Amino acid sequence: MLAVPPSDKALVPFVSVENMMRLVHHIGIERMLAGLADYIEEDFRRWELFDKVPRVASHSAEGVIELMPTSDGEVYGFKYVNGHPKNTREGLQTVTAFGLLADVGNGYPVLLSEMTVLTALRTAATSAMVARHLAPRGADTMAMIGNGAQAEFQSLAMKSICGVEAVRLWDIDPAATQKTARNLAGMGLEVVKCASAEESMEGAQIITTCTADKQYATILSDNMVGAGVHINAIGGDCPGKTELAPGVLHRSDIFVEYPEQTRIEGEIQQLSPDHPVTQMWEVINGTKQGRTSAGQITLFDSVGFAIEDFSALRYIREHIGGTDHYQELDLLADPDDPRDLFGMLQRAGPD
Ligand code: NAD
């Protein structure tokens, strides 16, 4: 028990998993996905302002732990995130995360938040924001290959942001497909459970691959992909972990977040280092072209970049005000006399 209660001067708002879920329900998931997509697009427009660096990854045989930092000069942010495909077999999440925003002016944290739920939301919002620019006009059907933790978020974001009306589900584990179909029931999407990846792609203009396997997997082979589709490739996001056959990449126009990171982690790690790619921020600000013809295959080689997490945390910070969906955390030592840290510790000693 502390003899002196902590000062309340430097309490940091903290959004727990429980409060994040409350906030999502308070705002409404589709409205929140659309809002996140707008925040992410806004930050892509001012891309050049940000500090950018490929994420710092610590790889092991079983997975990866990563730090993803960035700053727009006024606010600094980072996310801690893991990726462990074997985790679900042990009843654990493949991906878990938390993140922080801080004031660049004094370095004090201004928000700490869970980011496991928020990463699923921001990944889906980014996918749909990109598809809004690249998918063929009138796209209304999506193949959803890989029906794990991200699948419902991806489906709902494509519905609310791109007008997708039907999702065609495929997973090697039928229980995962059952779970996704059950969760999406009554949410305004036509949901079709398919018996193969090929079947899931019938009539789909958008193909999302969102599987987890720590290897060069072939979720889409060259002969499976027809002209004119948009591929939203989510699961290939680590060295040695990809989803698409090289032939698919050679037939596609490839769009990326941050090439320096994607060349290490994305599908394009399978291509030569000078293979041309287009950065999404340049499509968004109009300096580069997105889809130019109906027959073109566009591929978003998504790996997830720090600016998307920054945008998501910025959204949370601007939407928790006036709600009780956060706690105040005594995270920072903040003595009345800033040089008397020791005195503060001493005064907190036993009576
Ligand atoms: P998850 O483990 O919950 O789900 C993955 C699903 O893929 C499982 O249901 C599994 O049965 C299925 N699967 C594995 N191999 C398959 C195959 N050959 N064909 C069909 N289905 C197959 O994982 P998750 O949290 O949904 O994440 C999915 C992937 O997305 C992971 O690889 C993760 O690292 C990645 N991810 C990327 C981003 C990004 O920004 N790009 C963000 C979050 C997650």
Could you give the domains of the chain?
11-117+307-347 (3.30.1780.10), 127-304 (3.40.50.720)
Its pTM stands at 0.95
The first and second tokens of residue 208, run together, are 């999302």
Residues flanking ligand 1, CB < 6 Å: 83, 88, 94-95, 119, 123, 145-150, 170-173, 176, 210-213, 217, 219, 234-235, 237, 302-304
How much is the pLDDT for 348?
94
Q: What are the beta bridge partners of residue 81? A: 66, 97
Q: Is the pLDDT of residue 5 over 50?
A: no
Question: Residue 176 is inside which H or E element, if any?
Answer: helix 174-184
pLDDT at residue number 6: 41
Region 128-144 average pLDDT: 98
pLDDT at 9: 64
Share above pLDDT 90 across residues of the chain, in percent, rounded to a whole number:
94
Task: For 228-284, give the DSSP string.
Answer: T-EEEE-S--BTTBEEE-HHHHHHEEEEES-HHHHHHHSGGGGS-TT---EEHHHHH
Give 271-318 pLDDT, tens digit per residue.
Answer: 999 999 999 999 999 999 999 999 999 999 999 999 999 999 999 999
Instruction: Express each pLDDT in 200-253 by its tens digit.
Output: 999 999 999 999 987 899 999 999 999 999 999 999 999 999 999 999 999 999
Q: Give the per-residue pLDDT at 319.
A: 98
72, 171, 237, 309: the active-site residue = 237
pLDDT in tens, 299-310: 999 999 999 999
Q: What is the dihedral of CA 291, 295, 301, 304, to 10 degrees?
A: 50
Average pLDDT over residues 14-42: 98
Q: Which atom of ligand 1 is nearest to the CA of 83?
A: 34
Q: What is the mean pLDDT of the chain?
A: 95
**For strand 75-83 and strand 97-103, is the pairing parallel, antiparallel, or unpaired?**
antiparallel
Compute the distance from residue 314 Cα to the ligand 1 centre, in Å.
26
Q: What is the rounded average pLDDT of the residues 21-50?
A: 98
Active site residue 237: yes
Place 2 in a pLDDT band, splitting at 50, 70 and 90. Answer: very low
Length of the chain (residues) = 351
**What does the pLDDT look like over 50-107, one tens digit per residue?**
999 999 999 999 999 999 999 999 999 999 999 999 999 999 999 999 999 999 999 9
Residue 8 has what pLDDT? 52
Closest ligand 1 atom to 87 CA: 2
